[in-house]
Structures are given as C-alpha cells and as structure tokens.
C-alpha cells in the first residue's frame, strides 16, 4: 500500500532548502544494493544539481524570497512486494504528472523496512516564473493521482482518505515514514504477544511482560492499550480490524477451545505461529527429559564397566580359594542383573526419542514461570522513541505568497 503525505517545512530560506535537499540525497539512504546505484533523479532538472538549478530559476525571475520549496513523500507499506527501483520509477512518474511545470528533486530511500520517496519542489515555475499554489484539496488530489499510478503498476493502495476521528493523521503518517511511530510499534508487539498466547489470560500476561497494561472490560466496546511511553491507544486507532476487541476475543477463544469450525478473525497466520511454538516447546521438553534419563543411566553404566573390569581380572583356575570363587560368581551374577537394568533404561530412551510430534504434544505444559522467563528473553527490548510532534493539521492547508 502507498500513501502520499505533505511534510511541512516551516523554515523557508535557501539554507533550509539546501539542508532538506542534502538530507534527501544522503548516499546510504538512496543506495540500492540490487542495482548498485543511488536512486536520485529529477523532473525538469538534474537531481544531483537541483539546489543550484532551483536558485538559478529563482534569481532569473527575482523570486529568491518568500516561500522557497515544498516537501512531499510517497511511502509504501513494508508488506508491499516492491523493489527500490520500482518505487523510484513510480515516484518519477508521479512527480512528472503532479508538478509538470516545476523543477522537482526525486530521491528514493531504501535504508528502512518501508521503501519511500521524497519530493522537493521548487516553488517558482521554471517557464512561467509563477509560484506554486496549494489549496485545502491539494493533498487529496495528489493521493488520488498516486493511487492511479500505483494501481496501473499492479500495487495496492490505501482506502481513500475520508477524514474523521478514526483516520490516520498526517502526523502519524510522518512518524511511520521516519520509522518511529509508537502506534506501529504497539501493533507489532500485539502481533508478537498473540503468537505466544492461547488464551485471554496468557495474552494479558505476555503484553504485561512487554510493558503494557490494558483496559479490557465487558462494559466497554473498545480495548484500550496503555503503553510504556505513557500514551494510550484504543484498538480502533490501529488501522486494522484484526486488532479490534471482538476479533482478538474470538481468536483467543478458538485457541483455548480448538474443537469446531474456525471463524475468520484476521489472526490466521499468528495462529499457525502459536501452534508451531507449542510443538517446539513440547519437543524441547521431550529432549530435556531424554537427556536427563541418559545422564542418569550414564552414571550406572560407568559403574557396570568398572565392575565388569574387576571381574574379568580374576583368574579362573582350580587353585582358586573356595571363598574367593564364591565372591567371584556373585559378582558375575550382579553384573548380569545390572546389564539387564541398563538395557531396559536404554529402551526407554529410544522410545522417548522416537515419539511422534502428536505424542510430544501430550507432554504437560511448562509452568508459567518458565514461559515468562522465555518471553522475557525474547522480548528484552521495550524502549520507545517518544518524539514530540507539532499539532498542526496537514490534511488541508493554504499557503499565501
């Protein structure tokens, strides 16, 4: 899925414009390992030389003042199967159609899990000398254009922006673009906890280990997550129906009582991971028990070996004293008896090793203390980047020149 967002740049001068351009063209962000080239381009200009060309156009028309540039970004979901080169081609096509009369720097960043492209637009038209005008409907028009291009290339898009309290704000979009969205981190942590949970109690316990607590009551329609960074978020704000209270409750009930037909919840992939974790835990416990039995009989075996060596060292001849002969015979009989016991123990070990996965699932579940220790080891990091954002609403704006 792709979305377009406006990135407000409150400082408007040549130095701020150069700083943004330099940021967008950073080599480690734009370098594509597949094509071995930096994804830097331009529309109506040479992208690598965009700052000089922007300033030259401004000086020609005597408009090197006021509003200098605009900054937009087009971001793809990490789940979208798109290469950096494909994203860059789409970005160039989008920029050419969106700002055909202006110089545009286009760079694609592929240093993060989600590929995204930046657009820096010269506010002065290179042919007309007129400044670019924005309106409250500009962003919606740009998103519509982006959707059309992405669909033509076979990629998915977000639902049309409708506004309202449950829509993703541009501030959240920018946070996701930078990779420090606490809501996105919350969603990933819920995914992880669900992969280890077979009931409501286990889910609450696993979320607690990750640093969260929840407001979860029958009287409330929504499930509220209270995060380690002090922020709270209702399930409906996570932009995916699987996080809704009713779907989480239904999924956990189906895991706790696995009989019967499964209803769709959006957690099908997570359910497979949970069942895989159960099998791995059962197998690990079986291996631990097998090793314990083997270690015990290893001690017995060393005793038998020593005893057999002592017996074989006795010379069996007619000159042997009667008392010594009696002791030797008793030792041989004891050795034979111990060998039988040892053979029985080895048989038990072989049976344990050869158990089928279905039999392994019959093993008793580990205590919760062990589960918590395992989860703490896996979920060690719980730090959040709690960056403050401005409260400007960017979905609609008007620039006066």
Instruction: Looking at 80-163, list the stretches that DSSP marks H as alpha helix, in order from N- to C-terminal side.
Output: 84-98, 138-152
The pLDDT of residue 167 is above 80: no
Per-residue confidence (pLDDT) for residue 302, from 0 to 100: 54
Q: Which of 277, 65, 91 is nearest to 192 (CA)?
A: 277
134 Rama sector, left if φ>0, alpha if ψ -120 to 50, beta otherwise: beta
The pLDDT of residue 1 is above 80: no
Question: For the chain, what is the mean pLDDT?
Answer: 76
Per-residue confidence (pLDDT) for residue 32, from 0 to 100: 92
Going 14 to 16 to 21 to 26, the CA torsion angle's sign is positive
Per-residue confidence (pLDDT) for residue 84, from 0 to 100: 93
Query: Max alpha carbon distance in the chain (Å)?
Result: 126
Per-residue confidence (pLDDT) for residue 395, from 0 to 100: 38
* Tokens, residue 370: 């062990």
Asked if 108 and 177 touch (Cβ cutoff 8 Å), the reply is no
Predicted confidence band of residue 295 (pLDDT cuts 50, 70, 90): confident
Q: Would you list the domain boundaries of the chain?
A: 2-177, 278-366
Q: How far apart are CA 239 and CA 241, in angstroms?
A: 7
Q: Which of 285, 282, 292, 277 is nearest to 358 (CA)?
A: 282
List, for residues 231-275, the tens digit of each pLDDT value.
999 999 887 889 999 999 999 999 988 877 888 888 988 888 888
Give whole-number Cα distances, 202 to 193, 241, 375, in Å: 9, 21, 11
Per-residue confidence (pLDDT) for residue 70, from 0 to 100: 95
Q: How far apart are CA 159 and CA 140, in angstroms?
A: 12
The pLDDT of residue 214 is above 80: yes
List, for residues 263-290, the tens digit of each pLDDT value.
888 898 888 888 888 888 888 888 887 8
Per-residue confidence (pLDDT) for residue 332, from 0 to 100: 53
Per-residue confidence (pLDDT) for residue 81, from 0 to 100: 86
CATH assignment of 2-177, among 1.10.630.10, 3.30.930.30, 3.60.21.10, 3.40.630.30: 3.30.930.30
Predicted confidence band of residue 58 (pLDDT cuts 50, 70, 90): very high
Predicted confidence band of residue 178 (pLDDT cuts 50, 70, 90): low
Containing 208, the helix (H) or strand (E) segment is helix 200-209
Q: How far apart are CA 166 and CA 236, in angstroms?
A: 7
Mean pLDDT of 196-210: 92
Per-residue confidence (pLDDT) for residue 291, from 0 to 100: 80
Per-residue confidence (pLDDT) for residue 158, from 0 to 100: 66
Strand pairing of 37-38 and 31-32? antiparallel
What's the residue count for the chain?
401
Predicted confidence band of residue 111 (pLDDT cuts 50, 70, 90): confident
Supply angle C-alpha 354, 196, 276, rounded to 5: 35
Per-residue confidence (pLDDT) for residue 261, from 0 to 100: 81
pTM above 0.95, yes or no: no
Predicted confidence band of residue 319 (pLDDT cuts 50, 70, 90): low
* Tokens, residue 371: 């589960």
Per-residue confidence (pLDDT) for residue 62, from 0 to 100: 94
Q: How far apart are CA 296 and CA 76, in angstroms?
A: 57
* Tokens, residue 70: 């605009």
CA 276 from chain center: how many Å?
18
């Amino acid at each position: 899925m792709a979305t377009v967002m406006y990135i407000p740049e409150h400082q408007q001068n040549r130095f701020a414009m150069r700083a943004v351009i330099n940021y967008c063209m950073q080599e480690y962000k734009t370098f594509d390992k597949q094509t071995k080239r930096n994804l830097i381009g331009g529309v109506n200009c040479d992208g690598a030389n965009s700052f000089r060309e922007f300033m030259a156009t401004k000086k020609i028309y005597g408009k090197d003042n006021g509003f200098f540039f605009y900054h937009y970004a087009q971001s793809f979901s990490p789940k979208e199967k798109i290469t950096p080169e494909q994203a860059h081609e789409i970005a160039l096509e989008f920029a050419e159609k969106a700002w055909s009369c202006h110089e545009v720097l286009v760079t694609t960043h592929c240093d993060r899990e989600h590929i995204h492209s930046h657009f820096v637009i010269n506010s002065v038209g290179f042919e007309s000398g007129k400044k670019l005008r924005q309106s409250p409907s500009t962003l919606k028009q740009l998103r519509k254009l982006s959707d059309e291009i992405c669909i033509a290339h076979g990629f998915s898009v977000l639902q049309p922006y409708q506004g309202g309290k449950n829509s993703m704000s541009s501030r959240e979009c920018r946070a996701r673009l930078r990779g420090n969205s606490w809501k996105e981190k919350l969603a990933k942590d819920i995914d992880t906890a669900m992969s280890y949970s077979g009931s409501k109690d286990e889910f609450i316990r696993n979320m607690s280990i990750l640093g969260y607590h929840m407001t979860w009551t029958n009287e409330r329609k929504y499930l509220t997550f209270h995060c380690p960074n002090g922020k709270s978020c209702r399930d409906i704000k996570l932009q995916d129906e699987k996080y809704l209270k009713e779907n989480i409750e239904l999924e956990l009930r189906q895991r706790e009582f696995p009989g019967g037909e499964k209803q769709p919840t959006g957690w099908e992939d997570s359910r497979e991971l949970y069942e895989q974790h159960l099998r791995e835990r059962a197998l690990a416990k079986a291996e631990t028990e097998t090793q314990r039995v083997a270690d015990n009989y290893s001690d017995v075996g060393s005793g038998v070996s020593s005893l057999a060596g002592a017996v074989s060292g006795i010379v069996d001849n007619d000159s042997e004293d009667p008392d010594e002969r009696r002791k030797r015979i008793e030792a041989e009989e004891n050795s034979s008896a111990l060998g039988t016991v040892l053979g029985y123990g080895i048989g038990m070990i072989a049976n344990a090793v050869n158990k089928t996965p279905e039999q392994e699932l019959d093993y008793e579940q580990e205590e919760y203390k062990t589960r918590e220790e395992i989860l703490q080891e896996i979920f060690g990091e719980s730090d959040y980047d709690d960056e403050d954002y401005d409260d400007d609403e960017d979905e609609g704006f008007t620039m006066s020149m």
